[in-house]
Amino acid sequence: VIAEPISTANGVQVPSKAYWKRMREICDTHGVLLIADEVINGWGRSGTYFAIEHYDIVPDMVTMAKGLSSGYAPIAAVAVRDSVFEGFKEKGDVALGHLLTFGGQAVACSAALKNIEIFKQENLVQQSAEKGEYLKKQLQELSSHPSVGDVRGLGLMCGVEIVKNKETKEKFGREAQFTKRVSELVNEKGLLTRVWDTIHLAPPFVVTIDEIDRMVAITDEALTQAENEYAAELG
Ligand SMILES: Cc1ncc(COP(=O)(O)O)c(C=O)c1O
């Protein structure tokens, strides 16, 4: 089983602890490896080094990429349990028994190592946790918008769910004019971000409080304007 601890592209869905506990139990019962896909979630995005740390379970494998070098160099890695590694040891001359054209690329590895050093020096994971809490708190102020169905997130990975009907949580959908208009408006006002069924907000960990306030203000203004223009479609 492979899954993101927090499903990102699907609208920043933050599951309960019970969900991941059950996932672990089911995998154990059936002898299935549990792989946490931390390609987006990992390296501090959720306010801990790895998002699975929020869930008190240990996966068998963890995949990681983007945040490993903060995106500055193309690098990916996988961490595995000792019991999984045993199987790869048989091919001792090839790391993890898997060949890649650019595997073990020295420049990318060097960039990742430096990145990890900076993470520690600048307490970037803690910054993500603290500023993330502030971002979510500010975004919660937008809950009163008629087109906001939910505000959720962990660390600097937050989402504002856009809905057509606040009661039923019926969505507009990614292709709806309303959604496209919100996307256009936030861009015009200086916030470049992904607007699908959910407005995704995941700034760099060095974001300032002023910048967070500006992100929230732009989102607020864009929603108000789109709601006025498409009032007949809401509710
Ligand atoms: C959640 C998730 N998993 C895996 C991948 C693939 O990562 P890579 O391109 O490093 O193989 C992506 C790429 O965007 C991703 O978002």
**Domain chopping of the chain, boundaries:** 2-121, 124-233
Could you please state the CATH topology (level 3) that the domain comprising 124-233 is classified under: Aspartate Aminotransferase, domain 1 (3.90.1150)
Measured CA to CA, the distance from residue 233 to residue 114 in angstroms comes to: 50
pLDDT tens for 49-66 read 999 999 999 999 999 999
The CATH number of the structural domain formed by 2-121 is 3.40.640.10
In the predicted structure, residue 187 carries a pLDDT above the cut 90: yes
pLDDT tens for 156-181 read 999 999 999 999 999 999 999 999 99
Q: Do the Cβ atoms of 95 and 112 come closer than 8 Å?
A: no
Instruction: For residue 10, give the nearest of 139, 184, 152 by alpha carbon.
Output: 152
In the predicted structure, residue 104 carries a pLDDT above the cut 90: no
Helix, strand, coil proportions of the chain in percent (round to 5)?
45, 15, 40
Work out the number of other CB atoms within 10 angstroms of the CB of residue 182: 24
Residue to mutate (ligand 1; options 4, 6, 38, 40; most atoms within 8 A of CB): 40
pLDDT of residue 98: 67
Q: Which is the closest atom of ligand 1 to the Cα of 66? A: 10
Residue 64 φ/ψ, nearest 5 degrees: -150, 155
Q: Do the Cβ atoms of 6 and 37 come closer than 8 Å?
A: no
